[in-house]
Amino acid sequence: MRNKLALLGTLSIVLLISLGTFAPLLSPSAPDQQNITERLQAPSQKHLLGTDDLGRDALSRMLYSARISLTVGIVAVLIAITLGTLIGMLSGYFGGATDTILMRFVDVMLCFPTFFLLLMVLAFLEPSILNIIIVIGFTAWPGVARIVRAEVLSIKQRDFISASKLLAVSKSRIFLRHILPNVFGPILVSATLGIGDAILAESGLSFLGLGVQPPDASWGQMLSAGKEYIHIAWWLSVFPGVAILITVLSFNLLGEGIREKLNPRK
List residues binding other proteins (CB under 8 A): 1, 104-105, 107-117, 119-121, 123-125, 196, 200, 203-204, 207-208, 220, 223, 227, 230-231, 234, 237-238, 240-241, 244-245, 248-249, 252-253, 266
Cβ closest to other proteins, residue 85 vs residue 224? 224
Least distance CB 119 / other proteins (angstroms): 6
DSSP 41: P
Least distance CB 31 / other proteins (angstroms): 21
Q: Measured between alpha carbons, how far is residue 214 from residues 6, 19, 190, 209, 220 in Å? A: 35, 21, 31, 10, 12
Least distance CB 29 / other proteins (angstroms): 25
Helix (H, G, I), strand (E, B) or coil at 51: strand
Cβ closest to other proteins, residue 169 vs residue 241? 241
Cβ closest to other proteins, residue 61 vs residue 178? 61
253 membership: H or E segment, kind and range:
helix 234-262
Least distance CB 30 / other proteins (angstroms): 26
Q: Measured between alpha carbons, how far is residue 112 from residues 59, 105, 107, 199 in Å? A: 37, 11, 9, 20
Instruction: For CA atoms 95, 97, 102, 107, give the dihedral sign.
Output: positive
Cβ closest to other proteins, residue 111 vs residue 166? 111
Cα separation of the two ends of the chain? 15
